[in-house]
Amino acid sequence: MKISFSPPFIDNDVLKEVEDTLSSGWITTGPKVKSLENELSGIAGVKNSLCVNSATSGLILVMRWYGIGKGDEVIIPSYTYCATALAVIHTGAIPVMVDVYDDFTINIAEIEKKITSKTKAIIPVDIAGWPADYDSINKVVQKKNIREKFIPNSIPQQQLGRILVLSDAAHSIGAYYKGKPTGSLCDITVFSFHAVKNVTTAEGGGISINLPEPFNSSEVYSTMRLMSLNGQTKDAFTKTRAGEWLYDIVLLGFKMNMPDICAAIGLAQIRKYKSFLLPERKRIALMYSQLFSHYKWAHLPILSNSDGTESSYHIYLLRINDIVESDRDAIIEEISKTGVSVNVHFIPMPMLSLFKSMGYNIGDHPVAYRNYSCEISLPIYPQLSDTEIQFIVSSVVGAYQKVIAK
C-alpha cells in the first residue's frame, strides 16, 4: 500500500473558491486575503491577523517591526525547523539556541540562563501542534530583574518595555493551552499555511496580534501590512479603482503579501477546520495512540491533558524506547519498503552544516539529540482511512520487530 506523508486536502469547496477567485478579475492581495485574516483571527482569539507569503516571512516581518537587528539576540529552541533560526539571522540578530524538554518544547530554565541585555525576543515553537509552556515564558519576561536588563532601541521596544514573546505556531493552528487558543497565548503568533500544514494556502503564513496596552492592535496590523507591501500607502487592489493612482512609499518595506489565489485555498479549508478537518486529525492521532498502546517500546506523544491543553494534531511524533539513532534509521528504511512515507521532525539545528559552521554544537542540547535519535513522524491528514492507519501501524511494528527484536 502506498501512503504519502502529507498530500494537501483539496475538495470541491477549495476548487470552487479558487475558481471564484480566477473568474473575479482579481488574483493577488484583496478580498479573499481579508476573509482569511478574519477567519484566522476567529480561531486565534485575537482582533487582528495579517496574512503573508510564508511563516518565515511573518517571523522576519514581526522581528523587523519590533526593531530587532544587528547586535541583538533572540532565544529559540534547538529542536525546530531551520526557518525559526534563519528568520532571526535574516534580521541581523543572533539566534541563541536552548535545549528542549522531553515533550519537545523549549526548556524555560535554559531560557532564563541565556537572557542577556541583548535579548530582544524569545520564540517558543509548538512542535507537532503541542503548545510550549506560555505561562512560564510570559512570567520570565515579566520578572523585575529581567525587565531591568532590557535595553529598548525602537519605539515598539520602548512601548513594550521587555522581551517580546513571539510564538512560532507553524504547526499549531487550533491547538489550546490551558483552555486558550494558540494566537492568544503571547504577544504575537506566527502560523504557517505551507502545503503540508493543517490549513494550507500552498505557501503562506498568518500573524496574529495580541499585544498588551498601550499597543493598538489595528494600528500594528496596518503598519505590518504596509511593511509587507513595500511600504506603499496603497495596495494594488485599491490602486485599480478609478482616480486612486496616487501613492507614496513611507518606509523600507518587504514584498511579503499573500495573493488572493492562495488565500482562496486556505479560506475553503479554514471554514471547515474546526468542524471537520481538525476532528479528522484527532481521530487519526487517537487511533495511533490506541494501536501503539499495546507495545511497551512505543513512546506515545502527549496530545492533551487535564488543564485544557490540546494539540492541533499536526504530525504524530512516535518515539521508540531504548534505541539509538542508527536503529531508528534502519526502522525507517524497513517502513519505507512497505510503501509508507514517514519522516523525522526535526534534525536539531546544531546538527545541520550551516549551524555547525556557526559554532553551534549538539553536545550542548542532549535532550534535543535524545528526542531526535528515536523519533519517527507518522502522517496525519484527513484523507487517511482507518485501514490505512492500521497498515501504517503494522508497518512500524513489523519494521521494529525486524530491526530490534530479531
Ligand X SMILES: Cc1ncc(COP(=O)(O)O)c(C=O)c1O
Least Å from the CB of residue 178 to ligand X = 21
Q: Based on CB atoms, which residue is closest to ligand X, 53 or 157?
A: 53
Q: Based on CB atoms, which residue is closest to ligand X, 48 or 105?
A: 105
* Pick from 225, 72, 226: nearest CA to 154: 72
Q: Based on CB atoms, which residue is closest to ligand X, 77 or 253?
A: 77
When binding is defined by CB under 6 A, the residue of 48, 49, 80, 312 that contacts ligand X is: 80
| Interactions with ligand X, residue window 314-333 (CB under 6 A) | none
Please report whether residue 380 would count as binding ligand X according to CB under 6 A.
no
State the Cα–Cα distance between residues 359 and 173, nearest whole angstrom: 33
Q: Nine-digit cell at 11?
A: 475538495
Question: Quick one: CA dihedral 245, 251, 255, 258, positive or negative?
Answer: negative
State the Cα–Cα distance between residues 121 and 302, nearest whole angstrom: 27
With contacts defined by CB under 6 A, name the span among 36-44, 48-56, 71-79, 215-223 that binds ligand X: 48-56
Please report whether residue 56 would count as binding ligand X according to CB under 6 A.
yes
Please report whether residue 172 would count as binding ligand X according to CB under 6 A.
no
C-alpha separations of 108 from 15, 75, 122, 135, 172 in Å: 44, 11, 11, 10, 19
Please report whether residue 83 would count as binding ligand X according to CB under 6 A.
yes
Decide if 33 contacts 265 (C-beta within 8 A).
Answer: no
Q: Nine-digit cell at 182?
A: 494558540
Please report whether residue 168 would count as binding ligand X according to CB under 6 A.
yes
Least Å from the CB of residue 245 to ligand X = 33
Q: Nine-digit cell at 361?
A: 554544537
Least Å from the CB of residue 16 to ligand X = 25
Strands 205-209 and 48-52: antiparallel
- If one counts every other C-beta atom within 10 angstroms of the C-beta of residue 245, the result is 9
With contacts defined by CB under 6 A, name the span among 53-61, 96-104, 230-238, 276-284 that binds ligand X: 53-61
Least Å from the CB of residue 118 to ligand X = 23
Please report whether residue 55 would count as binding ligand X according to CB under 6 A.
yes
Please report whether residue 228 would count as binding ligand X according to CB under 6 A.
no
Residue 127-166 contact track with ligand X, rule CB under 6 A, x = bound? ----------------------------------------
C-alpha separations of 109 from 99, 122, 133, 138 in Å: 10, 13, 12, 13
When binding is defined by CB under 6 A, the residue of 77, 124, 129, 205 that contacts ligand X is: 205
Burial, 78: exposed, middle or buried (Cβ in 10 Å; 0-12, 13-18, 19+)?
A: buried
C-alpha separations of 291 from 283, 307, 321 in Å: 12, 25, 16
Question: Grid cell 492521532 — which residue?
Answer: 285
Please report whether residue 170 would count as binding ligand X according to CB under 6 A.
yes
* Pick from 256, 237, 230: nearest CA to 53: 256
Q: Based on CB atoms, which residue is closest to ligand X, 270 or 298?
A: 270
Q: Which residues bind ligand X (CB under 6 A)?
A: 54-56, 80-81, 83-84, 125, 168, 170-171, 192, 194, 205
